[in-house]
Amino acid sequence: MLHESAREQYAQAAAAWSGALCCKIMSAAHAGPMAVWVTANLAYAGVLKQVAPLEAQLAALTDSLNESQARLTQCQQDLTQLDEQV
């Protein structure tokens, strides 16, 4: 996966990716902010990877809740009809 490849490359040269160090070493003024951006994006990708199963679980539980609420509504309507018959 691209994310894992980028993380491996980043880990191999982690010290060189610090924003302050990039600004000192590189003549381009944008190297430091770019290093911070890369670091932030790798962290964000890691968070997305961790959150994905939780989002899937949330969707499944939300579907189950909706089904239970629909069943509850149906049971309440059935109970109301039975009460009217008695």
Range among 32-36, 62-66, 79-83 with highest mean pLDDT value: 62-66
Distant-in-sequence, close-in-space partners of 29: CB < 8 Å, separation ≥ 6: 23
C-beta atoms surrounding 55 within 10 Å: 10
Q: Tokens at residue 39, please?
A: 């670091």
Share of residues in the chain with pLDDT > 90 (%): 45
For the chain, give me the number of helices (H) and strands (E)?
A: 3, 0
- The pLDDT of residue 70 is 98
Q: How far apart are the first and last CA of the chain?
A: 66
- Mean pLDDT over each residue of the chain, to the nearest integer: 82
Q: How confident is the model at residue 36 (pLDDT cuts 50, 70, 90)?
A: confident
Alpha-carbon distance of 44 to 46, in angstroms, equals: 5
0.85 surpassed by pTM: no
